[in-house]
A and B are shown apart, each in its own frame.
Chain A
């Protein structure tokens, strides 16, 4: 048995429902109470912490401190305090961290909505402030709720390519995350002890509760609190189940029913794996990628080398099985790439392979934020980092970057530049 309606708790409320939402009796759901809110709060405490950490990792994965072309947030100041050289091992690192970030974020949406629903009476509570600390706490809650919804909304819109938010996604989502996390941290410190105290009843949900969230005039229950939590969990599970498959190729991706990059692979044959931007979308003309027209320019040490595709094929070719993992949270399984090692290209302009420097890579593409991008020396030196010419045993397709593309283990997808035209080696 759960949430027995409390009869005759206060005759002052009468039989009529109060009109003002500032009156506790206006809120009649028998579900609201410290236990329900605490369960959701603790789930979010863990979940949002994971989202924040994986988000910071994704930011570091772009190596924004390496070169301005990688840096979408040049004013970051102290917020970049933790940046480090993004590793190349394990090769599925970004696939895991960013897949977790986006998939978990999507699965947490029902929990966030339920949590906000469970505390909505507090929004209208009067008096507006009992003390200065209370007034500031309520102001901080605006940042918490507004910031949280802002982060979830911009993330969900960005993965659906719906760029309606006011500005570029990277700075909005990054700075917004810090604003949200500042409020989240204060809220967590203030509320976690009480939430954990409430959760001592986790096994046996209390039949009767007192507290500011408990309705003094509850309606007759149609579902238990446990049942309501089950529905929230079911919503998370449904979102998770229809999303998680987009981190894998083949039949698993088909299970991702309602999510970008779910469902069947594009096209057929060796190039039938996920594409972030097609050649047509970024203005690649087949004439400029033809055997006659295309030349790769390799620069560094004051030297310049020009190579056509035929000349590249004369260099030692190597294989690497590597995934593509996008900031939008989808990824492919390992693909079989074949091409020239980046460090061998550095050697063409006189660098020793084991001391090869950073490289600036430029694409033929006309527009797009990352048509120029920088790779760090540890990425250049990794023997699996290739300028790929083939994938899965065939020439690259135009949409996968023909005539040549970069593929680097564990790097975010956009740093795997397609339609490469120029590579400039040297310390950045």
Chain B
């Protein structure tokens, strides 16, 4: 073999060129981004990715797995979506609007805008209640429909099972 063993591969030259251009631009903006508080900004940039991939994703994936398992054990695996969807949507609203919902910016918000900063928690709870309520209604409707189908089948014993 003439080719030296385990010579490091370069990869596509076009890809290398593209990435070099990308890093040049990112570097040009990056030194300006890091100019004031380089450590704080770098911590936020890397921390955002780490926090998302190693904390947020395992957290909601784990919660989802637990939900599927609990409902599966209770024999209601088909209910998963009826709990998962409202929980996901409500959690999404909480994630995005956490500073408002938690009330941590309420004083600043009121002083700057002359609007009340206190209503967000109750509004989020109301939206959450509406989401779960709507989901429950859909589940009941579906159960009723299934029940009716089953009864209809019983009344027609010739129907193919």
Chain A interface residues toward B at CB < 8 A:
73, 75-79, 106, 109-110, 113, 116-117, 120, 123, 130-134, 136-137, 140, 142-143, 145-147, 149-150, 153, 156-157, 160-162, 165-167, 171-172, 175-176, 178-179, 181-183, 185-186, 189-190, 222-223, 227, 231, 234-235, 238-239, 242, 257-261, 263-264, 266-267, 274-278, 280-281, 399
Q: Is B19 an interface residue (CB 8 A)?
A: yes
Contact status of A222 and B113, CB under 8 A, knowing A175-B30, A179-B33, A183-B22: no
Q: How large is the interface on B (under 10, 10 to 19, 20 to 34, 35 or more residues)?
A: 35 or more
Chain B interface residues toward A at CB < 8 A:
8-12, 15-16, 18-23, 25-26, 28-30, 32-33, 35-37, 40-41, 43-46, 48-49, 52-53, 57, 61, 68, 77, 80-81, 84-85, 88-89, 92-93, 95-97, 99-101, 104-105, 108-109, 111-115, 119-120, 123-124, 127
A222 with B81: CB separation less than 8 A: yes
A190 with B88: CB separation less than 8 A: no
Main secondary structure of the interface of B (DSSP, over half): helix
Q: How far is the CA of A417 from the CA of B100 in the complex (A)?
A: 27
Partner of B127 from the list A123, A145, A161, A257 (CB cut-off 8 Å) is A257
Minimum Cβ distance to chain A for residue B134 (Å): 11
A175 with B32: CB separation less than 8 A: yes
Q: How far is the CA of A386 from the CA of B105 in the complex (A)?
A: 34
B26 with A182: CB separation less than 8 A: yes
Q: How far is the CA of A34 from the CA of B114 in the complex (A)?
A: 49
Minimum Cβ distance to chain B for residue A208 (Å): 22
A263 with B115: CB separation less than 8 A: yes
Partner of A274 from the list B18, B41, B81, B113 (CB cut-off 8 Å) is B113
Residues on B with beta carbons closer than 8 Å to the beta carbon of A239: 92-93, 96
Contact status of A278 and B80, CB under 8 A, knowing A149-B48, A190-B18: no
B49 with A145: CB separation less than 8 A: yes
A136 closest partner in B (C-beta): B19
20 contacts between A and B (CB under 8 A): A109-B96, A133-B15, A136-B16, A145-B53, A150-B44, A160-B99, A160-B109, A161-B99, A161-B108, A175-B32, A181-B25, A186-B21, A190-B18, A238-B92, A257-B123, A257-B127, A259-B97, A275-B115, A278-B111, A399-B114
